[in-house]
Amino acid sequence: MTSNDDDYDKDEIEEEEDYGTKAFDSICSKTKPGRIPGGGDSGRGDRELGGYDPSERIGGGINVGDPQIKVKEKERSVTSILKELAAIQQQGPQKYCILGTRHCSFLHQQIIELLYVV
């Protein structure tokens, strides 16, 4: 191994060290939870957000439990609208079927009694 080779090796090692520190800084700036407290030049804004960088998007597949299912909108067809319109406009006696649970409170029973009267 010659002296030139030694110089080349030293330069190469220094470059690699520089690259390593740059890479370490860049990783630290992206992954804040793993960052050493007080180490490096962290911004105040990052600390206020608990070490989370808002520009960094969290990867997909987040488990948020079982959210409330979106209520399906009622289907509206011309037939159903005409049927409801006919029911509103229809006058005269009609046949009603009244069904219900046996476990009915006294107040509900009074309301049901009034329904027939009205």
Partner 1 sequence: MSHARRSHIVTPSNSFKIKIKKSRAYALVLSGNHVYTSGAGGTHAATIRGALRAERPDLLTVVLPQSMRRQPKESQELLRDVDDVIAMPQNDEMPLDLASRICNSYLLSQTDKLISFAFHESTTVIEATKEAKKLDMLVTVLYLD
- Give residues in contact with partner 1 (CB under 8 A): 83-84, 87, 92-105, 108-110, 112-118
For the CB of residue 43, give the shortest distance to partner 1 in the complex, in Å: 53
Angle at 98 between CA 94 and CA 102, to 5 degrees: 170
For the CB of residue 27, give the shortest distance to partner 1 in the complex, in Å: 54
| Nearer of residues 62 and 118 to partner 1, judged by Cβ | 118
| Nearer of residues 58 and 107 to partner 1, judged by Cβ | 107
Number of C-beta neighbours around residue 91 at 10 A: 6
| Nearer of residues 36 and 71 to partner 1, judged by Cβ | 71
DSSP structure string for 12-47: HHHHHHHHHHHHHHHHHHH--TTSPTT-S---HHHH
47: phi then psi, degrees, rounded to nearest 5: -65, -40
46 neighbors 32 (Cβ within 8 angstroms): yes
For the CB of residue 67, give the shortest distance to partner 1 in the complex, in Å: 21
| Nearer of residues 58 and 99 to partner 1, judged by Cβ | 99
For the CB of residue 117, give the shortest distance to partner 1 in the complex, in Å: 5
